[in-house]
């Protein structure tokens, strides 16, 4: 059985906070290491919790809001300064691929200069991301759909791509919601999850907790927390639903699955 551990690098919602950094998760499977999202402060948090810049093999960016991507160039600079030579994969919503590649060139993270290959890869629509035994199934969600009228009015190229990630390793499954339009985006995917890491900003916890009970989810971590989030009320709602497996995320929290 693989040793699977998820570490919360950042648990803050969009507003930067004094004691939380923005969205980022480190997924360790035995000696393998993947990063999920790379918001503000995630590179420093990666070092704070003693992760190895040479060991991380890829990052998956769920959507391009700054609190999920803004530290990405700094993260790659860290890999460069750590004298990395192995390729590094960056999975992005396809709508952003060329913009982010141009941004890296503008920041002098030149593909012609870096001594390792940065592979810019679209998050696949029909298939999974596979890293040996780790299977990551991207689930499109409605988080960015509120931009539709603006995009249509100004004929912008944005495609409103945001993904939740359903991850399987051996016989374990976890879901990282990233940001959502509402809890409805992920309700069909909760069956028998070992772990649900779900954002707290855009959901109703009552409906969610009911679904957690119905789907036999083993553990729930509420993340993407604002400074004013009423965590006690959320935990009280969990207890009322008969759940004792719901916790609030904190930076540095480690969860073994």
* Minimum gap (Å) between residue 256 Cβ and Zn ion: 25
Decide if 233 contacts 20 (C-beta within 8 A).
Answer: no
Q: Which is nearer to Zn ion, 23 or 220 (CB)?
A: 23
37: contact with Zn ion by CB under 5 A:
no
Residue nearer to Zn ion on the CB measure, 14 or 172: 14
Give the CA radius of gyration of the chain.
18
Residues between 100 and 129 with contacts to Zn ion, criterion CB under 5 A: none
Burial 39-64 (b: 16+ CB within 10 A, else e): bbbbbebbeeeebebeebbbbbbbbb
- Min. distance of Cβ 202 from Zn ion in angstroms? 9
For position 251 contacting Zn ion by CB under 5 A, the verdict is no
Cα–chain center distance at 21: 13
Task: Sort 114 into a burial class: Cβ within 10 Å, 0-12 / 13-18 / 19+.
Answer: middle
CB of 114 to Zn ion, least distance (A): 28
Q: Does 179 bind Zn ion (CB under 5 A)?
A: yes
Residue 179 or 185: which CB sits closer to Zn ion? Answer: 179
Instruction: Between 10 and 53, name the residue whose CB sits nearer to Zn ion.
Output: 10
Of the pair 175, 257, the CB lying nearest Zn ion is at: 175
Which of residues 71 and 179 has its CB atom nearest to Zn ion in the complex?
179
Please report, as residue ranges, which positions from 49 to 78 form the binding site for Zn ion (by CB under 5 A). Answer: 67
Whole-number Cα distances in Å, 32 to 35, 54, 56, 84, 145: 10, 11, 7, 16, 34
Question: C-beta of 85: minimal distance to Zn ion in Å?
Answer: 33
Residue 7 neighbours by CB distance under 10 Å: 19
Part of the chain binding Zn ion (CB under 5 A), chosen from 108-116, 152-160, 171-179, 186-194: 171-179
Contacts of 182 (CB under 8 A, 6+ apart): 142, 202, 203, 204
Q: Edge-to-edge strands of the sheet including 24-29?
A: 118-122, 88-92, 56-60, 32-36, 24-29, 4-10, 254-256
Measured from the CB atom, is 9 or 79 closer to Zn ion?
9
Distance in Å, CB of 179 to Zn ion, minimum: 4
Minimum CB separation from Zn ion for residue 41, in Å? 13
Closest among 35, 10, 33 to 23, alpha carbons compared: 10
> Would you tell me which residues interact with Zn ion (CB under 5 A)?
67, 179
């Amino acid at each position: 059985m693989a040793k699977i551990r998820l570490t919360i690098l950042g648990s803050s919602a969009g507003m930067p906070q004094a004691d939380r950094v923005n969205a980022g998760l480190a997924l360790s499977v035995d000696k393998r290491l993947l990063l999920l999202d790379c918001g503000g402060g995630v590179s420093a948090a990666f070092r704070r919790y003693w992760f190895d810049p040479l060991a991380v093999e890829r990052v998956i960016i769920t959507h391009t809001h700054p609190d999920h991507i803004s530290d990405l160039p700094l993260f790659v600079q860290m890999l460069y300064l750590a004298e990395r030579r192995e390729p590094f994969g960056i999975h992005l919503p396809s709508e952003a691929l060329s913009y982010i590649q141009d941004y890296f060139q503008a920041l002098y993270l030149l593909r012609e200069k870096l001594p390792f290959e940065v592979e810019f890869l679209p998050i696949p629509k029909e298939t999974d991301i596979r890293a040996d035994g780790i299977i990551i199934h991207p689930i499109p969600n409605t988080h960015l759909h509120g931009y539709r009228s603006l995009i249509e009015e100004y004929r912008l190229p944005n495609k409103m791509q945001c993904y939740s990630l359903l991850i399987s390793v051996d016989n374990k499954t976890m879901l990282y919601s990233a940001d959502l339009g509402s809890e409805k985006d992920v309700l069909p995917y909760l069956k028998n999850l070992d772990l649900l890491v779900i954002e707290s900003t855009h959901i109703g916890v009552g409906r969610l907790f009911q679904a957690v009970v119905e789907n036999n989810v083993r553990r729930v971590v509420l993340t993407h927390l604002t400074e004013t989030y009423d965590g006690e009320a959320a935990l009280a709602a969990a207890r009322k639903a008969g759940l004792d497996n719901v916790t609030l995320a904190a930076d540095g929290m480690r969860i073994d699955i």
